[in-house]
Structure 1
Amino acid sequence: MTKSIRIALFSILGLMLNACGIPDLTSKQEDTQLPGTYGSGASHEGSSANLRWNQLFDDPNLLQLIDVAVKNNKEVNIMMQRISVAENEIQARKGAYLPFVSLGAGADGQKVGQYTRNGAVEENLDIKNGKAFPSFLGNFSFGLFSSWEIDIWKKLRNATEVARLEYLASMEGRRFLITNLVAEVAQAYYELIALDNQLENLEKNIEIQQNALEVVKQLQFYARTNSLAVKRYEAEVAKNTARNYEVKQQITVTENRINYLLGRTPQAIQRRSSDFMNSKPKVLAVGIPSQLLKNRPDIRQAEFELSAAKLNIDVARANFYPSFGIKAGVGFEAFALKYLINTPESLAATIAGELAAPLVNRNAIIADYKNASAKQIQAAYEYEQRIINAYTEVSNQLSNIANLDKDFERKGSQVDALTQSIEIASQLFKSARTDYLDVLLTQRDTLEAKRELIETKLKQYSATVELYRSLGGGWRDIEDIANVASAEGEGSSGQLGPRR
């Protein structure tokens, strides 16, 4: 074995041993364990997360608003550009482990000093027929040049896979954004309808109180009551009329919020408000908790981010190992243009191999490696956190829906009783068997009870929408509307019906 070969082998061995000094770091295995059910009373036969929003909502006005929002919402369009960036990153990293080939040409001139090494050589060197070297020597060249890093440790291929996983995570991020957008539009729409009902209730109450005011004035005229009753009724009418304008302002603000979600300037929102109090939210099947891992886009996003973080550790570890590269070139080179394409005199070629590994001052590489490990642990905790959060959200809404059903039933009985008491109190007041305050307070209590009943109905719809979002519904038909990634899941495994 020649001396040069032994030196080369010992150099390679030294570089390999240098790579053995990689710090020992800890990693975290994610915990995806969830309870088997959400508790008693929940439907476990399939999940309504597989429902498309046109299967959950039957109001055509709401469906049209959601369609427009998914197409025009600015946040969604911004997210689409982020997805394009992530997709381009895959292409960039994929090209990194392929050979780079370029075509180049160059021209330069040089005059060396006579008492330099090159100058001394030129002084005693003929190039042809005894002619002296030119004092100003040119250099012209063109050819193909190539460089290629051999991806022995899969660093470049792993980096490409990281980019692919990050792209998939961004796709899930968009789906999560769609899920939240659908829920926001639906909740704002039901809030708008509830405000319409509040306004109608308030106007009816004002009309009742104005009629009562006229009755009190007539009774005062016949000296059966005093001016205090008249003033109290006038004040009550004025108070509710002022509140009337407050509700109208809330309606305007809610309409504008919906238009903002739809990515357009303020305009009237078409809606159907008349049957709101008689309608019933639909019942959603929640399935089993483990289905959240598939249905929730934010959980799937965290899963892809965790996979990317794991691979990034391998990428960072590969920086400790030697890198192997090959450089080659072929072309023509001459000191004068007239000789440039002479073959084989001006034909030039080069090929070289490179072997390099960090030996001294590896602080930056060690820091990157530790950071990659820390980010993997962070991603694992975030993944677990999103799983727990999803389960908690579903559990909370199931309890919320059950309690709101009972609350609405009790408030409905309260409103019925108070509505009947208004007529009774009015008759007693006309026959001078009760004071006007009893009538006034009964009307006030009835107005407040109806307001609370409408709010409870709104909470019922909001809880259903929130449960649909918490289950991971609302993104499966975005392909049909926005012409993006194919929707997962087919059909519906959840059963819908009116809530009893």
Structure 2
Amino acid sequence: MTMHARKKQPSRTINIKRALLASVVCGSMFGMSGCGIPCRRGAMPGPAMPQQYQWNNGTEYEKPDAEPKASPEPTASDSSQTSNVAPVAHHELKPIESQTAPTSGIESTNSDDGPQLHELLKAPIVFPLQTDPTETTNRTSIATDAETTLVSAVGVIPVQHQVQIINADVTTSPTASWQYSESDLDFGISTLENSAQLPHSVFFNDPYLLELIQQALVGNQELRILAEEIRIACNETYARSGEYRPFVTLGAEAGLEKSGRHTRDGAVEEQLEVAPGKEFPDPLPNFLVGANVSWELDIWKRLRNAQNAAAMRYLATREGRNFVVTRLVAEIADNYYELLALDNRLATLKQTVAIQRQSLEIASAMKEAGRGNQLAVQRFQAEVQKNESEKTLIAQEIVEAENRINFLVGRYPQPVDRSNVEFIELELNALGTGVPSELLQNRPDIRQAEREVAAAGLDVRVARARFYPSLTLTGGLGWNAFSTGYLFRTPESLIYGVAGELVGPLINKRAIQAAYRTANAQQLQSIYNYQQTVLEAHIEVVNYISKVENYRDSLDAKQQQLQSLQDSVDSATKLFQNARVEYVEVLLAQREMLEAKMLLIDTKREQLGAIVNSYQALGGGAF
């Protein structure tokens, strides 16, 4: 900061000339035939959001035919297999209901036929119970009440508030908010119209899974990185909030100057005296203490709009973190159920190996009795060894699944505690879908895109304001003297000054015009990104909910198939013991039963994953 108060510098005259020149320049600019602002481009309207979901894309849904098994008399276990779900009408969905474990329909009538095999076919798969986790479900979610604005060409209108149109050269007016229908479609039985209103601690009822989610919300590195991005965006907003306020600086200066005698300054100082009989010191010291004020008057709200745009991006960053949280919760739950499925596959293999070992013993006994041959024994031995090898491969998949969860949680490799449940009978909370327009409120990625549109519209206003003149006020106050003894003498050493500057672009506006067109293009990008996000969200919901429904009916058919295969294994084993069928029939029956069990587990795994992804696609989690 430098403030000169010497008589040889006519600062007042210079300021007057600058003000006159700025007035002439701005006056000539306003007198031109145009301001030079390029024409705006409007966005193409997006697709209209449907009033309700259409499962299977509106195709009439047909439940697979459930043919009764050809058994002599239906047993109590068979009656428990019957689904009590009525056929589904068009655009309706059935509730997710519990399914009973398949049991064998053939009773052993001969004590010599090996009743142990019958129990092995019926035995439920149970896993060891791990240590109980500590229940910590209290979680403060980040919410925002900021009002957002969109461009009229977006094509979908938020439900919570009436949209205010920002900077859109489109003549179409926003349509009315979506109307809610009293007959909103629900998937399953739920007390809420939309499962997105359920927090994750209520939707997932497994304490081990909830403990993993809670640890991930604290220890996941991606969330920590996003938390720092939120802080950066907040700091940017805070910085922009100071640009339209006055800048005040306070400082001090000390210097020493020696002017040549044959220069203008030296010649003038040679003729002047500080006091009668006292000349200027040579060299000439200079001491200054003072304050400067600079304030750009935000006439066109350029600086305020820039701050509001930064605030919108800060809110968008927070919503982006919320979306990552919902995705993280869904990913942990999906991997957790995959881990349960792998446990079930391993236990199924163990049961199958036990059955095959019993068949091996029967083949060996028949060989010793002269009723069989070595080929049957070798084939059963090979089958047992093959499944023993498969057990080691599944054990490796379990390790990898556990480490995927450990990575998401933010911890080093360690065992993952999990529940002791029957996997096929595992059910989650019912899904309530509500109406498509509720996605605009519940999905964090849609809310993020919404705020990006509003920020882009404000950026266009900022770029437009650069075509107009800016008014800046400056002023200063302080003390200036060549000696510290005279520094604070008032009014002798007091200096001050006030000036106003009005400056606007006149010639060569290419840079400003290019920035304006760029801001317009970025605004259109944000609008199309919003349209794409809404479209993608709706497609995700329909895909996942339809997958839940279709896979559930596939489970019903596969359970009946497995029941028949279990009966066939039991029958084939008994007939093989009585030398009424070849060993090949027993091998084929056991292989088909194992494949059916594995396929049933995989189908259940896909259904649970679809439920988790549906919950995430609806915007669930209360984040």
TM-score, normalised with respect to structure 2 = 0.74
Contact 2:470 2:502 in 1 (8 A): yes
SS of equivalent to 1:351: strand
Deviations 1:445-487 (A, max 9, x none): 10010001011111111111111001000143xxxxxxxxxxx
> Residue 194 of structure 1 contacts residue 458 of structure 1 at CA under 8 Å; is this kept in 2?
yes
SS in 1 for 2:273: coil
1:175-190 equivalence runs, <5 A: 175-190=322-337
The match for 1:489 is none
Conserved in 1, the CA contact under 8 Å of 2:298 and 2:304?
yes
Separation in 1 of the partners of 2:267 and 2:379? 118
Structure 1 counterpart of 2:438, from 291, 300, 305: 291
SS at the partner of 1:96? coil
Indicate whether 1:35 and 2:50 are aligned.
yes
Question: C-alpha distance in 1, partners of 2:313/2:386?
Answer: 57
What is the alpha-carbon distance in structure 1 between the residues aligned to residue 21 and residue 569 of structure 2? Answer: 106
Indicate how the Cα distance of structure 1 residues 246 and 8 shifts in structure 2: closer, same or farther if over 3 A, else same: closer
Residues 1:395 and 2:542 aligned together: yes
Q: Deviations over 1:24-50 (max 9, x none)?
A: 121326647310110211525721111
- Alignment match of 2:621 (pick from 466, 474, 499): 474
Tell me, in whole angstroms, the C-alpha distance in 1 between the residues paired with 2:328 and 2:201. Answer: 15
Aligned-residue offset at 1:61: 1.1
Within 1, Cα distance between the matches of 2:24 and 2:264?
35
Is the CA contact (8 Å cut-off) linking 2:572 and 2:589 kept in structure 1?
Answer: yes
**Cα distance change, pair 243–55 in 1 and its aligned pair in 2 (3 A):** same
Q: Deviations over 1:189-214 (max 9, x none)?
A: 11111111111000010111111111
Would you say the 8 A contact 1:418–1:442 is kept in 2?
A: yes
Instruction: Tell whether the 8 Å contact from 2:300 to 2:465 is kept in structure 1 after alignment.
Output: yes
- The Cα of 1:444 is off from its aligned counterpart by 0.6
Other-structure match for 1:14: 28
Task: Call closer, same or farther: CA 1:17–1:304 in 2, change over 3 Å.
Answer: farther
Q: Which position in structure 2 is the counterpart of 1:217?
A: 364
Deviation at 1:317, TM superposition (A): 1.2
Runs of 4+ in 1 over 4 A off after TM superposition: 2-9
Residues 197 and 622 of structure 2 are in contact (CA less than 8 Å); yes or no, is this contact kept in structure 1? no
Structure number having the greater helix percentage: 1
Corresponding residue SS for 2:242: helix
Unaligned runs of 5+ in 2: 1-15, 55-90, 94-184, 187-191
CA distance in 2, matches of 1:301, 1:86: 14
1:197 maps to which of 323, 341, 344: 344
User: Is the Cα contact below 8 Å between 1:87 and 1:164 reproduced in 2?
Assistant: yes
- 1:78 matched to 2:92: no
Which one of the candidate residues 137, 140, 154 is aligned to 2:301?
154
CA distance in 1 between counterparts of 2:555 and 2:255 reads 89
Identify if the C-alpha distance between structure 1 residues 352 and 420 changes in structure 2 by more than 3 Å, giving closer, same or farther: same
SS in 1 for 2:424: coil
**Aligned amino acid, residue 235 of structure 2:** N
2:597 & 2:407 partners in 1: Cα distance?
Answer: 30
Cα shift readout 1:161-215 (whole Å, capped 9, x = no counterpart): 0011001101111110111011011111111111111110000101111111111
Structure 1 position 359, deviation (Å): 2.7
The residue that corresponds to 2:394 in the other structure is 247
1:108/1:138 contact within 8 Å kept: yes
2:313 to 166, 178, 183: 166
Q: In 1, are the aligned partners of 2:474 and 2:500 still within 8 Å (CA)?
A: yes
Matched AA of 1:240:
N
Deviates more, 1:72-81 or 1:21-30: 21-30
SS class of match (1:216): helix
**SS of residue in 1 equivalent to 2:569:** helix
Change (3 A) 1:5 1:204: closer
Question: Which amino acid in structure 2 is aligned with residue 339 of structure 1?
Answer: Y
Aligned residue number for residue 266 of structure 1: 413
Q: From the superposition, tell whether residues 17 and 185 of structure 1 become closer, same or farther in structure 2 (CA, over 3 Å).
A: farther
Aligned pairs for 1:416-455 within 5 A: 416-455=563-602
Find the residue that maps to 1:444 and give its secondary structure: helix
CA contact (8 A) 1:192 1:251 kept: yes
Matches within 5 A, 1:20-99: 20-28=35-43, 31=46, 33-39=48-54, 40-42=91-93, 43-44=185-186, 46-99=193-246
Q: Secondary structure at the match of 1:336?
A: coil
Q: Take 2:286 and 2:300, find their aligned partners in 1: how far apart are those partners? A: 40
Which whole-Å deviations, capped at 9, do the CAs of 1:60-80 have from their partners, x for residues lacking one?
111111111112111111111
Cα distance in structure 1, aligned partners of 2:354 and 2:31? 92
**SS of aligned partner of 1:143:** strand
**Identity percentage of aligned residues:** 45
Cα distance, 1:289 vs. partner?
0.3
For the 8 Å contact 1:176–1:475, the answer to whether it is kept is: no
Alpha-carbon separation, structure 1, partners of 2:263 and 2:578? 129
Q: Alpha-carbon deviations, 1:431-453, whole Å to 9, x = none?
A: 22211111001101100100010
- Answering whether residue 174 of structure 2 is matched by residue 123 of structure 1, we say no
8 Å contact from structure 1 (residues 15, 321) kept in 2: no
How far apart, in 2, do the equivalents of 1:94 and 1:164 lie? 9
**Of 350, 363, 376, the match for 2:510:** 363
Change (3 A) 1:367 1:5: closer
Bigger shift: residues 168-177 or 5-14: 5-14
**1:300 counterpart residue number:** 447
The Cα of 1:274 is off from its aligned counterpart by: 2.9
SS where residue 300 of structure 2 aligns? Answer: coil
CA distance change for structure 1 residues 195 and 8 in 2, over 3 Å: closer, same or farther? closer
Report deviation, 1:6: 7.9
Contact residue 194 and residue 432 of structure 2 kept, 8 A: yes
1:229 maps to which residue? 376
Native 8 Å contact 1:165 1:308 kept in 2: yes
Measure the CA separation in 1 of the matches of 2:276 and 2:21. 45
Greater RCO (Cα-Cα under 8 Å, separation 6 or more): 1
Counterpart position of 2:491? 344
Task: Select which of 414, 418, 432 maps to 2:561.
Answer: 414
Match of 2:531 in 1: 384
Contact 1:190 1:462 in 2 (8 A): yes
Residues 473 and 3 of structure 1: CA distance in aligned 2, closer, same or farther (over 3 Å): closer
User: Cα deviations across residues 227-283 of structure 1 (Å, max 9, x unaligned)?
Assistant: 221111111111111110111111111111111111111112111143222233332
Q: Secondary structure at the match of 2:501?
A: strand
Q: Is the 8 A contact 1:281 1:460 kept in 2?
A: no
Question: Matches of 2:19 and 2:619 in 1, distance apart?
Answer: 63
Equivalent pair of 2:23/2:502 in contact (CA under 8 Å): no
1:342-369 superposed Cα distances (whole Å, 9 cap, x missing partner): 1110001011111222233333222221
Aligned length: 475
- Which residue of structure 2 aligns with residue 487 of structure 1? none
Matched to 1:301, the amino acid is Q
SS in 2 for 1:144: strand
Corresponding letter in the other structure for 1:41: E
Judged with a 3 Å threshold, the aligned counterparts in structure 2 of structure 1 residues 90 and 29 are, in CA distance, closer, same or farther, namely farther
SS of residue paired to 1:427: helix
Range with bigger deviation, 38-47 or 379-388: 38-47
- The Cα offsets for residues 281-323 of structure 1, whole Å up to 9 and x where unpaired, read as 3320100000001100000000000100010001111111111
CA distance in 1, matches of 2:256, 2:20: 41
TM norm structure 1: 0.91
Runs of 5+ consecutive residues of structure 1 not aligned to the other structure = 477-500
Q: 2:22 touches 2:503 (CA, 8 Å); kept in 1?
A: no
Q: In the TM superposition, what is the alpha-carbon distance from 1:223 to its structure 2 partner?
A: 2.4
AA aligned to 2:524 is I
Partner of residue 494, structure 1: none
